[in-house]
Structure 1
Amino acid sequence: MTQSDRAINPELQRFMAKRINAKTTEVNSSHVPFISHPKEVTKVIEAASTAVK
């Protein structure tokens, strides 16, 4: 979840994630964390991929 998102309010992100019981990770980023924080996003993707093997 992106803490500094101006497109989708972080509180709305948390609400939607909670509704589907999603596991989340927060990044102090705007709406496009894969551009501004690629290492953090990569870690999340790698962790998710190993969790389902």
Structure 2
Amino acid sequence: MQLETKGNDIDLVCGMEVSAETTNKVVYKGKTYHFCSDQCQKHFKDNPQKYIGE
């Protein structure tokens, strides 16, 4: 589940609040997920089920 805070999103990997305008994002199963860094984005891409609870 993707949480939203004041127009921002929560990085599902580290829990940090990130701007929805960030360039670190992944579209997975039709939903866009935003990340604070390339590293968090890579962790998500490597195992998205771990972070979205599938």
TM-score where L is the length of structure 1:
0.34
Report 1 or 2 for greater relative contact order, CA contacts < 8 Å, sequence distance ≥ 6: 1
TM-score where L is the length of structure 2:
0.34
More helix, by proportion: 1
More strand, by proportion: 2
Rg comparison, structure with higher value: 1
